[in-house]
Amino acid sequence: MLTDVAGVAVGHWTDPVARTGCTVVLLPEGSVASGEVRGGAPGTREWDLLSPERMMSHIDAVVLTGGSAFGLAACDGVVRWCSEQGRGFTTRAGPVPIVVGAVLFDLAVGDGSVRPGPDQGYDACVAASSEGHATGAVGAGTGATFGSWRGPEAVRPGGLGTATERFRSDTGQVTVSALMAVNAYGDVLPPGTEASQIDMARWLETPPPAPFQNTTIGVVVTDAPLDKRGCLLLAQSAHDGLARALEPVHTTVDGDAIVVISTSFLDPAAPAPDRPPPVFRLDGLRAMAARATTAAVRAAVLG
């Protein structure tokens, strides 16, 4: 689970009746992040600052939420909670919390008039724990489904899934963990399946069902020291992991978005540590991110 990476806390707010919710990932101070969107219909907050060329390096929290664009309001409550803790980017007027958010569309399931807002985001922060977290139909995965490309009769419950990849050797160890809210337009492929049995005539030649439930969003966290460029490359590989587990993926009606965070960013201006941290090949970390993402997607719906 995501809390396998030291210092990370995860909390949920869930409304099982309205079938919506939000999930908050609270990060250690100094965590650096980047991310990538590959779906055609994203809903995000503060996403531009994740680009490597932007000034901001560190973020305080990530919000995954239902409620479509309405659900981005949950980020305001997370900003309030972080501000109360004195967390944020240092300015002359005090710290300004940096909270990145991504939404999925669950308004057509349950009661669409109920959406996560500031109070719900705040409550998820209060509930956050570094000792573990629930998965399945909780938080951002509460109203999630998948398979809607086939039509309403083919829709199946999605959810929130997590997985961890670890590597240990005589020189050190590294952890890469993924948390994915699976609300995909496409199908989830079981392990060992290279491609789903899509009826290509239906897919290519018939009018598509009206999209009403889509988007897979998630967070990948590692304790390997990375800069923003490294985090971006891991985010790209995490999307490759989505493509192994979902088909079709990154469609025009999905808002697929993944944030990658390094909790061990090395500040070049900081004093040298007594013992240098182990250095792992970036491409190996990218492979771990892809594997963790694939496993997390499948765990969300297949257990």
**Joined tokens for residue 76:** 């305001």
Beta strands in the chain (DSSP E): 9-15, 20-26, 32-37, 44-45, 61-65, 99-103, 145-146, 156-157, 159-169, 172-182, 187-188, 217-222, 246-247, 257-262
The 10 Å CB-count burial string (b at 16+, else e) for 205-233 is eeeebebbbbbbbbbbbbbbbbebebbbb
User: Percentage of residues in the chain with pLDDT exceeding 70?
Assistant: 89
pLDDT at 73: 97
Say if residue 271's pLDDT is above 60. Answer: no
The pLDDT assigned to 268 comes to 47
Q: Are 32 and 261 in contact (CB under 8 A)?
A: yes
How do strand 217-222 and strand 99-103 relate by DSSP bridges? unpaired
Q: Give the tens place of pLDDT for each residue, 92-112.
A: 999 999 999 999 999 999 899
* pLDDT confidence of residue 274: 55
Q: How many domains does the chain have?
A: 1
pLDDT, tens digit (0-9, with 9 covering 90-100), for 220-258 = 999 999 999 999 999 999 999 999 999 889 998 999 999
CATH of the domain at 251: 3.60.70.12
19 is in which domain, residue-wise? Answer: 2-302
Question: What is the per-residue pLDDT across 10-51, written as a single tens digit (0 to 9) for each?
Answer: 999 999 999 999 999 999 999 999 999 998 999 999 999 999
In what order do the strands lie in the sheet containing 99-103? Answer: 9-15, 20-26, 61-65, 99-103, 44-45
Structure letter (DSSP) for residue 72: T
Residues near 292 by Cβ (< 8 Å), separated by ≥ 6?
Answer: 163, 164, 165, 176, 177, 178, 220, 238, 241
pTM over 0.75: yes
Least trusted range by pLDDT, from 73-87, 98-112, 114-128, 211-225: 211-225
